[in-house]
Amino acid sequence: MADDLKRSERTVAPEVQQDRPLARVQAVPWLIVIVLLAAIAWLGWRAFFYQEEGDPVGSAMLAFEKQNSLTVFSSRFEVVAESVDRRGVLNIDLLESRQAAIIPATVEYRLDLSSMDLSLIHI
């Protein structure tokens, strides 16, 4: 009878758990806090301090549309004029004065788009 008893051999094995580093476990909540603070700072900057500069191409097109003219050529230059005045007696110059002036000038060639029809614009 003693042989009829089946002996089951039990082996007790310890549970194997991977130990996670404490720094990694504590880092996750801090990363969440840092990300939330960064998002709040960005939203606050966007709401109170950000000033939209505008679209330079869009504003140029709006000015072009409102002006209704196209500048084909534009030039800015200065004209220098000088005069000499001599005064004297019997062709002897006793006084001589010289004056110089710099005159700024601008030349622009423009097309008035309001006077054009579609037949002229056809490409």
* C-beta of residue 112 within 8 angstroms of C-beta of residue 67: no
State the pLDDT confidence band at 2, using cuts at 50, 70 and 90: low
Question: DSSP for the chain?
Answer: -TTTSPPPPP---PPP-PPPPHHHHHHHHHHHHHHHHHHHHHHHHHHHT------HHHHHHHHHHHHTEEEEEEEEEEEEEEEEEEEEETTEEEEEEEEEEEEEEEEEEEEEGGG--HHHH--
pLDDT digits (tens, 9 = 90+) for 48-92: 888 877 778 888 888 777 878 888 899 999 989 999 998 888 888
Task: Find residue 98's DSSP bridge partners.
Answer: 84
> What is the tens place of the pLDDT at every residue in 31-48?
999 999 999 999 999 888
Tell me the per-residue pLDDT of 76-88, one tens digit each, with 9 for 90 and over.
Answer: 999 899 999 988 8
> CA distances (Å), 6 to each of 11, 12, 88, in order?
15, 18, 148
The whole-number pLDDT of residue 76 equals: 92
Q: What is the pLDDT of residue 18?
A: 74
Give the residue with greater pLDDT, 122 vs 98. 98
